[in-house]
Amino acid sequence: MRRFVIVGQTATASDAFLLDDLAGTSGRLDVLVRCVRAALLYSHGVRRDVIVYLVLLGGPRAPRALRFDGRAAKFLRPDERSLATLVKKTLAREDLGSGFVEGRHGVAIASGGVDVLLADCEGATVYAMEEGAPDIRDAELDADAVYFIGDHIGLAPVPGAQSLSVGPVSLHSEDVVAIVSNEIDRRLPASK
Ligand SMILES: C[S@@+](CC[C@H](N)C(=O)[O-])C[C@H]1O[C@@H](n2cnc3c(N)ncnc32)[C@H](O)[C@@H]1O
């Protein structure tokens, strides 16, 4: 499985945000939601070989993590509002124990941050996507790697990760997801 981790340093871990003003009321959860679309959805389809994790470090319930699993994803629509609605419903859950708790349509939630998802990804190669790092085009990629990407603020150091860049310009997070996906698509066949 190809895995993306988007770390939201201010993105709210609570459901107390307005769908009508997602960017203004959620600590920029909008950035993360767009990454979910870029990672999981292609034109008229869902990538079944992709998992996306959102790490939510903002607001009173932080830290929490969400997991979107392409193998189980259903009824995902590409517009930001419908993805934000799914996130809001999932964040309303309070019955969390240890590890991920499965919700509807392939979306799971856990209490905890990067630690909880790294337990989920044990043994995988971990990459941190960073401006100025060695070019992804010169790297050997494997199908089961984990790619960490920052939000509008940036990405804090990821222990044990190799740094990679997607070129000389600092891009929006969802564009980095799209470029990494494209690099992998060109080199590694998708598992159906
Ligand atoms: C909008 S950028 C962060 C900008 C932030 N102001 C900073 O200086 O770090 C969002 C994230 O996308 C990733 N990113 C952006 N441009 C990149 C590039 N050229 N190569 C690799 N990753 C990149 C990084 O993970 C970054 O944290």
Residues 165-177: tens digit of each pLDDT = 999 999 999 999 9
pLDDT digits (tens, 9 = 90+) for 73-112: 988 999 999 999 999 999 999 888 889 999 888 999 999 9
Closest Cα partner for 30 from 21, 41, 39? 21
CA–CA dist 40, 165 (Å, integer): 21
Dmax over CA atoms of the chain, in Å, equals 45
Which residue owns the Cα nearest ligand 1 atom 5?
Answer: 154
pTM: 0.96
Mean pLDDT of the chain: 94
Ligand 1 binding site (Cβ under 6 Å of any ligand atom): 129-131, 149-150, 152-155, 165-167, 169-173, 176
- 52-55's contacts with Cβ under 8 Å and 24+ in sequence apart are 52/3, 52/4, 52/5, 52/6, 53/3, 53/4, 53/5, 53/6, 53/117, 53/120, 54/6, 54/8, 54/11, 54/87, 55/5, 55/6, 55/7, 55/8, 55/113, 55/114, 55/117
Q: What is the separation of C-alpha 22 from the centre of its chain, rounded to a whole number of angstroms?
A: 17
**Helix, strand, coil percent content, the chain, rounded in steps of 5:** 30, 25, 45
End-to-end CA distance of the chain: 11
> Whose Cα sits closest to atom 3 in ligand 1?
154
